[in-house]
Amino acid sequence: MKNNPNRLIQRFLRKFFAGVFRAKGAVPEKRAPQIIRIPQKYTDVAKSLVDKDWLQSATYKRHMGDVDWAKTHPDIKAFAIRFVKECEIRGIPMQVFELYRGHERQENLKAQGRSNASAGNSPHQYGCAVDIISSRHGWNYTDRQWELIGVIGREVARKMNLKMVWGGDWDGDGDIYDNRLFDAAHWELKDWRDYRAELYMQRPRYVAVPKFSPEWFANAQAYIKAERKGVDLDA
């Protein structure tokens, strides 16, 4: 079969102009994602968190595969995946523990003193929060170790241009030691209350944005409707 001369010309022109643009710097060459740098004062802390044997374990590999993202806001999903990956690059095994949280569970956690939010007032119930813990040790990190995890998470959020609130620094002053509401595993979208308001108004703000998840909106709406009727979706 003979080659189509028009296609040959098109290929030549594409290669030619691509070379011209690269030469002028108009089309930057693809580079590998830049790994987040950890401040030098956390070097020893970072070493204490490294657990490469656990990273190779079947348990660790299963954790991320078991995550149900269906009721999760797409920004939380993207943040959690990248955050866990950034930790993995450094040999630190972390995992997603909890995303969506039902009405009854939120009430139980409140009653147990494990959450300060009552049902309907937690970002978890709208898919706008995630708890990320150690894959091997759960919540059993020292304050200093959690502080380093917070540094990584906040830098991930900054690079992704996401406005996140970290539970290890509720007051936003950067000091986790003066915080009586310390919850270092918790991350939430700063504007989650805006999403909740829009869910009650039954219209998504970002419906035209490609990354918007209709599935998330539908699930969150189902929760709102059930809440109004006093029905527990998890029952």
Q: List, for residues 28-57, the tens digit of each pLDDT value.
A: 454 555 666 777 788 899 999 999 999 999
- Residue that wins the pLDDT comparison between 103 and 149: 149
Q: In the predicted model, is pLDDT for residue 156 greater than 90?
A: yes
For position 209, what pLDDT does the model report? 39
Q: In the predicted model, is pLDDT for residue 231 greater than 70?
A: no
What element of type H or E holds 147? Answer: helix 143-159
Yes or no: say if 127 and 73 are a contact pair by the CB < 8 Å rule.
Answer: yes
Q: φ, ψ for residue 165 (rounded to 5)? A: -115, 130
Q: φ, ψ for residue 31 (rounded to 5)? A: -120, 155
Distance in angstroms (rounded) separating the CA atoms of residues 139 and 126: 23
Coil, strand or helix: which one is 42? helix
Among candidate residues 172, 113, 171, 175, the one with its CA nearest the CA of residue 143:
175
Lowest mean pLDDT among 7-11, 65-69, 78-82, 149-153: 7-11
Handedness of CA 65, 70, 72, 76 (dihedral sign): positive
Q: List, for residues 163-205, the tens digit of each pLDDT value.
A: 999 998 876 666 666 666 678 999 999 988 887 776 766 555 5
pTM (two decimals): 0.74
